[in-house]
Amino acid sequence: MIDLHMHSRYSDDGDYTPESLAEQCAKSGIKVFSVTDHNCVRADKEAKGAAEKLGLCYLSGGEFDGVFHGINFHILGYGIDTGDSVFADLENNIVRQSASVSYEMLEKTNTMGFHVTEEEMENVSRDCYWRERWTGEMFAEVLLGKPEYENHPLLLPYRAGGARSDNPYVNVYWDFYSQGKPCHAAMVYPPAKEVIDMIHKAGGLAVLAHPGANLRGREEMAEEIVSLGADGIEVFSSYHSEAQEAYFLNMAKKLGKLITCGSDFHGKTKPAIHLGAAARRMKGEAGQMVLESLRQGGIL
């Protein structure tokens, strides 16, 4: 089984150490995996070492934010040289912006009628690698944990039994803190072409991540993004319906691009998503296509 999309504690919304992810992969029957943290490649050495001990195949990876026609989306990089200085520069760019963006999100949250303090946000981010980076998921954890908001109408859909309760923290992020939503604070990310070139410069392959999620309603834009020089599409994803998988599979075949598969496992921020989830839904033929793509791309 294959899972080429998961996040460790080096992501601003991941829970587990790279070693723990490797152990969970082994227990789940996953033989080939990649840790793809947000704008950070620090998991690589730890994940690779753990994979070797467990007899698993590990691909170096990362998930990087980019912008195309004003829309934020994610590009996965596989087989990259994680020691390339471009990744340290990328991480430093996020660090420089984190504090101001976080406080802007705090101000906008409170403008909606909530009362969240700096101390509460610092408490929830204290053990995170990105301590100054407060995410929408962190705001959700604080808001949903406050007794005074137990019956707040804006939060009821995210509580047990609610329409958005399957992954409550990340759903709060999508509904309130993502691009175009009331509590969004803009982080400046590089253009799509620059991200793709960065991955190639580091010796890797660039794959458009879960386009059905980032480009919902604008799926046709995936072809434009891939045509900038990306090597593949994450066709099989926890977020994609069978119809979306068929759509992106046809697109990848038409463009002659690689086909990959990933769960986007995080931990508590996405409790309904499990390691290997996307691979388990694949029919045998689809799984073989992913393996052949990895071999074709020279990363397996």
What pLDDT score does 131 carry?
81
Residues 243 and 275 grouped into a single domain = yes
188-233 pLDDT, tens digit per residue, is 999 999 999 999 999 999 999 999 887 777 778 899 999 999 999 9
Task: Tell me which residue range forms the domain holding 288.
Answer: 2-90+192-220+233-249+258-296
Sheet strand arrangement including 61-68: 61-68, 71-78, 205-208, 232-237, 258-262
In a domain, 279, yes or no: yes
- What pLDDT is recorded for position 288? 82
Residues 106 and 173 in one domain: yes
Are residues 73 and 102 part of one domain? Answer: no
Q: Within a domain: residue 121?
A: yes
Report the domain count for the chain: 2
- CA distances 225 to 24, 77, 190, 191, 195, Å, are 33, 15, 14, 11, 11
Question: In terms of domains, do 120 and 157 share one?
Answer: yes
Query: Are 286 and 168 within one domain?
Result: no
For 182, the 3-state DSSP assignment is coil
Is residue 227 domain-resident? no
Residues 60 and 115 in one domain: no
* Low-confidence spans in the chain with pLDDT less than 50: none
pLDDT value, residue 216: 75
pLDDT of residue 299: 76
- pLDDT at position 291 is 83
Specify the CATH number for the domain of residue 15: 3.20.20.140
Question: Are the C-beta atoms of 210 and 233 separated by less than 8 Å?
Answer: no
In a domain, 43, yes or no: yes
Residue 186 lies in a domain: no
Whether residue 80 is found in the same domain as residue 98: no
- Do 19 and 144 fall into the same domain? no
**pLDDT tens for residues 52-93?**
999 999 999 999 999 999 988 899 999 999 999 999 999 999
| 256 DSSP 8-state letter | T
